[in-house]
């Protein structure tokens, strides 16, 4: 599964602030409403419901919140970079500044799991994380995911 296929430029947000995990997830839901046509409240509720099962904070400043929502026909993604990391109950207790959110159709079983695995694998790279933190434009972030996918396939 190619991350670049999940993420459009409209789904990349390089933004200032959130002061809490909930505000970060709210920003993800806002981006999902804008880029994916989801209802913001429905997206936020789905993300919060999933977080209630256990934190999606992977560690190293990365979280991969994900949820199934009605109305989608394929797995889609939102990438959000915060200027200031927020407490997120991550596995390593480090605050999070990189959120790669996945939204899947209600009936997307294996496709959703493949997307989660691909994103988790990519975000384990210290080099990619640092490049994402340094990227200044949406196009630069998008190019990093395309490059990472190309490198993975080689």
Report, as residue numbers or ranges, the catalytic residues.
Answer: 66
| Structural tokens at position 134 | 């340094």
d(C-alpha 64, C-alpha 120), whole Å: 7
d(C-alpha 93, C-alpha 130), whole Å: 19
Buried b (16+ CB within 10 A) or exposed e, 47-70: bbebbeeebbbbebbbbbbbbbbe
CB 133 within 8 A of CB 98: yes
Number of H helices, E strands in the chain: 6, 6
| Structural tokens at position 47 | 């993300």
């Amino acid at each position: 599964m190619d991350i670049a296929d999940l993420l459009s430029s409209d789904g990349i947000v390089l933004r200032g602030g959130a002061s809490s995990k909930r505000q970060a997830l709210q920003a993800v839901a806002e981006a999902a409403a804008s880029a994916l046509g989801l209802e913001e409240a429905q997206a936020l509720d789905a993300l919060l419901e999933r977080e209630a099962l256990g934190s999606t904070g992977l560690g190293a400043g990365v979280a991969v919140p994900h949820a199934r929502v009605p109305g989608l026909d394929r797995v889609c993604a939102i990438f959000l970079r915060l200027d200031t990391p927020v407490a997120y109950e991550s596995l390593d207790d480090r605050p999070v500044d990189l959120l790669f959110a996945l939204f899947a159709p209600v009936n997307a079983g294996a496709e959703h799991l493949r997307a989660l695995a691909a994103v988790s694998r990519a975000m384990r790279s210290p080099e990619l994380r640092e490049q994402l933190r340094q990227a200044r434009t949406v196009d630069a972030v998008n190019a990093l995911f395309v490059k990472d996918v190309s490198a993975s396939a080689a």
